[in-house]
Amino acid sequence: NAGSLNELDDEQGFAHFVEHMAFNGSERVPEGEMVRLLEREGLAFGADTNASTSFDATMYRLDLPRADEALLDTTLMLMRETASALTFDPDAVAREKGVILSERRVRDTYMLQNTVNRFEFLYPGSRLARRMPIGTIASLEVATSEGLQAFWHRYYRPDNVALVVVGAFDPALVEAKVAEHFADWEASETPLEEMP
């Protein structure tokens, strides 16, 4: 439950940047290994392994090729790593920054500008036109490991995350595996603040 509308002025594009960093290293999965791990299990990057960031949410999606316990276990481990164990290595952030700035430049088209103009016309004074999920070049260029981690810590918390499992699984197995991977994820003592 965190997207571009949750970003502060100097964090524009951070929700999307954090989404990218989920594939760039965590405590249990070194940088570059998540995709390889999933490919060994039969998932194709992009088709079966994907993520997206919108104005109000960031979604991570894995379409599993089979409904077996071992793959469910691996998948939930990866989701827990994304939720609470990303590393934000400064070198990985620097490498990914180039990818994200390239995306930003490629997406700066008439369609994006038209969307911004339409939002400004339809919703005057709202944050919508000022918080496109791709962010701004200025804020992305100065993004740091610490800044991204601060955004992630603020919003990736048990009271702000939903996990959905759909498929031909035994519900009792899913419940037990979710508890195994997520039960010790402690809620923050700081209340989640509403954006202005």
Burial bucket for residue 14 (CB in 10 Å: 0-12, 13-18, 19+): buried
Are 83 and 21 a contacting pair, CB within 8 Å? no
Residue type (1 letter), 49: T
Confirm whether 19 is a catalytic residue. yes
How would you label 93-130 residue by residue, b for 16+ Cβ within 10 Å and e otherwise? beebbeebbebbeeeeeeeeeeeeeebeeeeeeebbbb
Question: How many Cβ atoms from other residues are within 10 Å of residue 172's Cβ?
Answer: 8
Q: Please tell me what DSSP assigns to residue 70.
A: H
- How many residues in total does the chain contain? 196
Catalytic residue (choose from 19, 41, 81, 96): 19
Which pairs with CB-CB distance under 8 Å and at least 24 residues apart come from 37-44? 37/74, 37/78, 38/62, 38/78, 41/65, 41/71, 41/74, 42/66
* Active site residue ranges: 19
